[in-house]
C-alpha cells in the first residue's frame, strides 16, 4: 500500500490563517496557492466551520507554474474567549487529467491515493487588553503605544487613590477640630451663665422690693448666717442692759 502523496501546491501562509478583531464585521485573510509543476492542478478548500467563513474561490484549477489568490472571510460573530472550538482549513489538490472533465464529478470519483492535502489552523488576533483563551488558536496582538497608555492610566489612577486617601484624612481632622470647637463653645456658654448668676447674686439691693427669684437665689446657708448675727447682736444688747442694772 503506497503512502499518502505530498502536497504539490505551495501554500502561503503555510501553517495558519490570521484574523484580526474586533469581529463585529467581516474580517478577511488572504491565501496564495502556487503550482510549481508542469501539470495543471485541481484544488478544493474545506473548513471545519463552513457557516463561519466565506471562501472565494473555494475550488478551481491552477495552470502549470501558475498561482491563485484566495480570500477567506470570517463572518461577524460574538467572540467568546472561553470558546475552545478550533477552526481549521484543509487545502486538497490533485493533478488534473488530460482532456475535458467535470470538476464536481472529478472530485466525487477521485481516488484517495491521488489526493494531496494540507491543513491550516485559524488564529484570532485580538486587540490589546482582551483576555486570551486557553486554546492555542487565539493570540493577543502586542501594542507598545497602548501598553504605555495603559501603564500611564494605571499610574494616574494610583495617584488619584493617594490623593483621595489624603483628602479623607484631612476631612477627618477637620471634623475632629470642629467637634472640639463645639465642645469648647458649650463650656464657654456654661461658664458665662455661671458668672452671670454669681454676679447677680452678689449685687446689693437698691430697694426693699426683691422678686421671688432674687430671694430664692440666696442659699439657705446665707439666710441662717444672717439670723445668727441678729441673734448675737440681740444677746449682746440684752447683756449690756442687764449689766448696767446690776452694776
Model pLDDT for residues 116-148, shown as the tens digit of each residue: 999 999 988 876 655 544 334 445 455 555 555
Helix (H, G, I), strand (E, B) or coil at 206: coil
- Report d(CA 247, CA 239) in Å as an integer: 12
Alpha helices, DSSP H, located in the chain: 103-109, 144-202, 212-216, 220-246
Model pLDDT for residues 142-163, shown as the tens digit of each residue: 555 555 555 555 555 555 556 6
Domain map (residue ranges) of the chain: 10-144
pLDDT band, very low/low/confident/very high, at 218 (cuts 50, 70, 90): very low
HSE of 101 in the Cβ direction (CA atoms, 13 Å)?
18
Q: Which CATH class is domain 10-144?
A: mainly beta
- Report d(CA 176, CA 172) in Å as an integer: 6
pLDDT at 16 over 60: yes
What is the residue-wise DSSP string for 57-84?
Answer: SSEEEE-TT-EEEEEEEEPP----TT--
Q: How big is the chain by its Cα radius of gyration, in Å?
A: 53
pTM for the structure as a whole? 0.51
60 burial level (CB within 10 Å; 0-12, 13-18, 19+): middle
Amino acid at each position: 500500500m503506497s503512502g499518502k502523496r505530498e502536497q504539490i501546491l505551495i501554500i502561503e501562509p503555510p501553517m495558519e490563517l490570521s484574523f484580526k478583531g474586533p469581529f463585529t464585521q467581516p474580517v478577511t485573510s488572504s491565501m496564495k496557492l502556487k503550482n510549481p509543476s508542469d501539470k495543471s492542478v485541481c484544488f478544493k478548500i474545506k473548513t471545519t466551520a463552513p457557516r463561519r467563513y466565506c471562501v472565494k474561490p473555494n475550488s478551481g484549477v491552477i495552470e502549470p507554474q501558475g498561482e491563485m489568490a484566495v480570500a477567506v472571510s470570517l463572518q461577524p460573530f460574538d467572540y467568546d474567549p472561553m470558546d475552545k472550538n478550533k477552526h481549521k482549513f484543509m487545502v486538497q489538490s490533485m493533478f488534473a487529467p488530460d482532456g475535458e472533465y467535470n470538476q464536481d464529478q472529478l472530485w466525487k470519483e477521485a481516488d484517495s491515493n491521488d489526493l494531496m492535502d494540507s491543513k491550516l489552523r485559524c488564529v484570532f488576533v485580538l486587540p490589546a487588553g482582551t483576555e486570551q483563551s486557553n486554546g492555542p488558536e487565539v493570540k493577543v496582538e502586542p501594542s507598545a503605544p497602548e501598553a504605555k497608555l495603559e501603564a500611564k492610566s494605571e499610574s494616574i489612577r494610583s495617584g488619584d487613590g493617594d490623593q483621595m486617601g489624603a483628602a479623607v484624612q484631612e476631612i477627618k481632622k477637620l471634623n475632629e477640630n470642629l467637634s472640639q470647637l463645639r465642645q469648647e463653645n458649650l463650656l464657654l456658654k456654661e461658664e458665662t451663665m455661671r458668672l452671670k448668676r454669681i454676679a447677680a447674686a452678689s449685687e446689693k439691693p437698691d430697694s426693699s422690693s426683691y422678686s421671688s427669684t432674687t430671694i430664692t437665689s440666696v442659699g439657705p446657708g446665707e439666710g441662717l448666717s444672717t439670723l445668727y448675727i441678729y441673734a448675737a447682736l440681740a444677746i449682746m444688747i440684752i447683756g449690756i442692759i442687764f449689766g448696767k442694772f446690776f452694776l
